[in-house]
């Protein structure tokens, strides 16, 4: 009789590299990869949102500055119809108080302020190319071409100086200032710096830009509108000096050099521009 042998049960097959557990490992790896991709995507989106917010802020800042130009202030008291038509941007400017007002000029006590200054090319103070080059150099410093890469606010006026007053100290709101150098052949243009910096202004990257502190002083100022030319300025300086000869309270300082302040952007209509010519004076 044949013996019936029951087959012994097979031992369970070892789970090898191709079993179920490796499948679970692959799923975990896929999950990690997905998580990393999501993290990268989140980072990209966050950076994009940050860049968008920054660009929106810059756009908002530009709009704010444009509004200041579009809706100018009337901070100066008008003495004539010509002055009544003048307007200046609603920007920070050099602080002063009026000591005396005459028909042809007013006497101001100006507080100290800092400027960024550069020498202008050419022999005239109001040559278009020279003025444009100097303006661009100073604007570049103001808008970030400095050691701190900091963008500063526009101020007013821009000054153009004729000569180098001996009372200025070498160190750094708005006009643009233009002045003439000691040798009489070069003019200098200056931007007034925002007062919040004081003497802690960032150093310029451009070696042609100098930082100076202008000390407190008393000046005689005559305002006028229109475009500025060298011949016009020469005539206005002569008239101002003649008028001050009759003043019994203030007289022109011996070393006083002419200074011109311009308050408006280039697109301003000539009749609404505010320009000023100034001479430093002392009490008689």
Distance between CA atoms of residues 276 and 157, nearest Å: 10
DSSP 58-70: HHHHHHHHHHHHH
Q: Per residue in 235-280, pLDDT tens?
A: 999 999 999 999 999 999 998 989 999 998 878 889 999 999 999 9
Place of tokens 């830009």: 209
pLDDT of residue 184: 52
Q: Can you give the pTM of this predicted structure?
A: 0.69
Contact 86, 98 (CB under 8 A): no
Counting as low any pLDDT under 70, the low residues of the chain are: 1-44, 47, 50-51, 54-74, 124-125, 162-185
Domain ranges of the chain: 23-71, 81-283
Distance between CA atoms of residues 220 and 248, nearest Å: 13
pLDDT of residue 37: 67
Phi first, then psi, for residue 102 (nearest 5°) are -120, 175
pLDDT of residue 6: 46
Q: Per residue in 188-222, pLDDT tens?
A: 999 999 999 999 999 999 999 999 999 999 999 99
Q: What separation in angstroms does the CA of 283 have from each of 118, 125, 218, 222, 249? A: 31, 29, 9, 18, 6
- Quote the DSSP letter at residue 144: T
In the chain, DSSP assigns E strands to 92-93, 96-101, 106-110, 113-119, 155-156, 158-161, 169-170, 176-180, 187-192, 210-214, 217-224, 250-252, 259-262, 275-283
Cα–Cα–Cα angle for 76, 79, 83, rounded to 5 degrees: 60
**Fold observed for domain 81-283:** Multidrug-efflux Transporter 1 Regulator Bmrr; Chain A (3.20.80)
């Amino acid at each position: 009789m044949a013996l019936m042998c029951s087959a012994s049960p097979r031992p369970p097959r070892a789970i090898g590299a191709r079993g179920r557990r490796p499948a679970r490992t692959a799923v975990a790896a896929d999950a990690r990869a997905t998580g990393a991709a999501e993290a990268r995507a989140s980072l990209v989106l966050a950076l994009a949102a940050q860049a968008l917010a920054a660009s929106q802020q810059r756009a908002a800042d530009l709009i704010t500055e444009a509004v200041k130009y579009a809706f100018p202030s009337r901070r100066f008291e008008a003495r004539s119809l010509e002055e009544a038509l003048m307007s200046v941007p609603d920007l920070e400017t050099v602080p002063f108080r009026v000591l005396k007002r005459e028909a042809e000029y007013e006497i101001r006590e100006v507080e100290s302020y800092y400027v960024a200054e550069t020498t202008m090319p050419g022999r005239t103070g109001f040559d278009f190319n020279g003025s444009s080059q100097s303006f661009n150099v100073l604007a570049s410093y103001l808008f970030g071409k400095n050691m701190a890469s900091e963008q500063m606010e526009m101020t007013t006026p821009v000054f153009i100086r004729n000569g180098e007053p001996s009372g200025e100290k070498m160190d750094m709101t708005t006009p643009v200032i233009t002045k003439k150098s000691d040798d009489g052949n070069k003019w200098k243009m200056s931007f007034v710096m925002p007062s919040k910096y004081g003497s802690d202004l960032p150093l310029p990257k451009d070696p042609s830009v100098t930082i100076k502190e202008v000390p407190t002083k008393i000046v005689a100022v005559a305002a006028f509108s229109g475009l500025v030319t060298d011949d016009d300025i020469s005539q206005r300086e002569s008239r101002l000096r003649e008028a001050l000869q009759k003043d019994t309270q203030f007289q022109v300082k011996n070393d006083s050099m002419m200074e011109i302040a311009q308050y408006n952007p280039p697109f301003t209509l000539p009749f609404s521009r505010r320009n000023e010519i100034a001479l430093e004076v002392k009490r008689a």
